[in-house]
Structure 1
Amino acid sequence: MPGRAGNQAPPVAAEPPTVADLGEFGLISRVTEGRVQPGSTLLGPGDDAAMVAAPDGRVLASTDVLVEGVHFRLDWSTPEQIGRKAAAVNMADIAAMGAAPTALLVGLGCPPGTSAALAEELAAGLWAEAKAAGAGVVGGDVVSAPQVVLAVTVLGDLRGREPVTRSGARPGDVLAVAGRLGWAAAGLAVLRRGFRSPVEVVGAHRVPAPPYAAGPAAAAAGATAMIDISDGLLADLGHVAEASGVALDVRSEAVPLAPRLAEVATALGADALRWLLTGGEDHALAAAFPPDAALPEGWLVIGSVAEGSGVTVDGRTYDGTAGWDHFAPS
């Protein structure tokens, strides 16, 4: 008979809310509520602007834009991993100036039908990576867009030191790196072949691991020039060589090749050295130091600075593309 429990239709599960269901301010509230800010955040999300302490009296600022299909794929990375990556690539720029990141401002563009859960996971990744570096997410904006776009601006504190720029390298300096090289490129190569392992290699593409503390440590040790390696070691060293008016030479045997990367290169029939020299998105740091400087822990000498111009490998011009260029012909 109608009405009996045995004849009742099963309840229909509610569709998960989209960002359009929540609305702009509902979504912002959902991704910021209950978050703990560092002491440098004097006024966080919820007003027309945030307020961040600047005890040094100077503020560093850098920004990056990550676009779905260009910088990340949702079938390769989780939203949380993408959020972490968006924060990391920005904060690495601050570390490369010898400073500490303090605050992130985030712009999120996405289609109205995007799951609210995806936006929440993106935010969770942003907050987690910011916290790991001692920074906070202090504000931002949400807009409708044809695809997922994350635009992040990061602020940094010099803590009384002068910034380490790209233009201070001098002939006679040594060239050193801190952080991983080649891992993200190897992970991308694995994903492009349709594989999802080795996990640690694929994970390096999904979430970089910038050595945040190595930047301020290098500045304190007297680094004369420094840069974040985002587009590839040789490509980014080219910026230092040009800005400083010097020649840089990389010793290939000194660039650390992890055994795991060598194994992956062999399995894929790839050139591991090319990953090390030209692979982007690891966000390691490269710096020049005076020859008598005591390098901080985690820094490894890989080359030298001399009079002249350009970047060479083992004294010769490198044969091939030096790194990534968004607008280079494909």
Structure 2
Amino acid sequence: MAKELEKFKAEHKKLAAGTKKFTTAEGDKIKKRIGISLGNAWEGEDYFRESLAKARADGVTSGKLADFQKNKHFKDGMTTWNKAVDIHQGEVDAMAAFCGEAKAHLAKMSKLAADIEKDLKKRSKTSDSKKDIEALQGALAKEIAGVKKASEYEGKLNAMQKLYAANFQKNVAKIMKEKPDSHDKKLDATELPQLLVDRNLKKYTNQVGTLVKAINAHCVAAIDKAGEDLKAAAPDLKAAAAKYKDLKKINDQYQTVKKKFPGAIDDSKDKKKLLATLKKFNDLTAAAERKLRGTTVTIKKAAA
């Protein structure tokens, strides 16, 4: 019966290369690439919006895509975004292929496991090969568990990652229909994840820092001026309130991203940095609110 052991070992050896290939580590690598490519696609979308604004500034007033495509700025924006979307879809396809191949390999492993199980059931307890076959069975079971986890990685992708490329034309049409000034005035739920792109994060981090300094400066100035003339404190108090409103708007947007798009943060290569930044925004906003409220209360008490 030793020949069965050798047969099982030979089949197991044939599967070894694939078993080493289909790992959770490899699944993680592809998943991270997808997170990066989606971030680049979001940045491409952001660039497309900018190119659309430039085309309008160049005098393109038509709502037709064909008319905009004649403009060099618009064409550049569309091409850049489209390329980023294609690259992202390529990564998503790579994940689908990886999982598909892993499942096919898993089927071969499972067949070998079934053959071994069948052999062991009819093998006598005194068989010289029994312990070796059982050892092989145990090793194979662990390998099957690993490949099974790897084969399920496509299921870890969120809807945004899976469907972003598929919705490209819809997104183009949607953006084209937006009012010219809407890009500066609002960020709806489909646009919010763009806030996580490095360029935008740096921009808003700088804005938050500037706003916090301005709020503190206006509050200090208001207290100083209130000591001489309560009415003189009003302009600084009003300015501090306006700056706080801008600060709160930025923080609210980022906290909405954190709440509605946890996957976008989890998939980022800079997850820890992002979470730390969002926490900092929240803490600074809360501190600014306390500062403004405290200053207002102090001045009101002085006026009483």
TM-score (norm. length: structure 2)? 0.26
Which protein is richer in helix relative to its size? Answer: 2
Which protein is richer in strand relative to its size? Answer: 1
Larger Rg: 2
TM-score (norm. length: structure 1)? 0.25
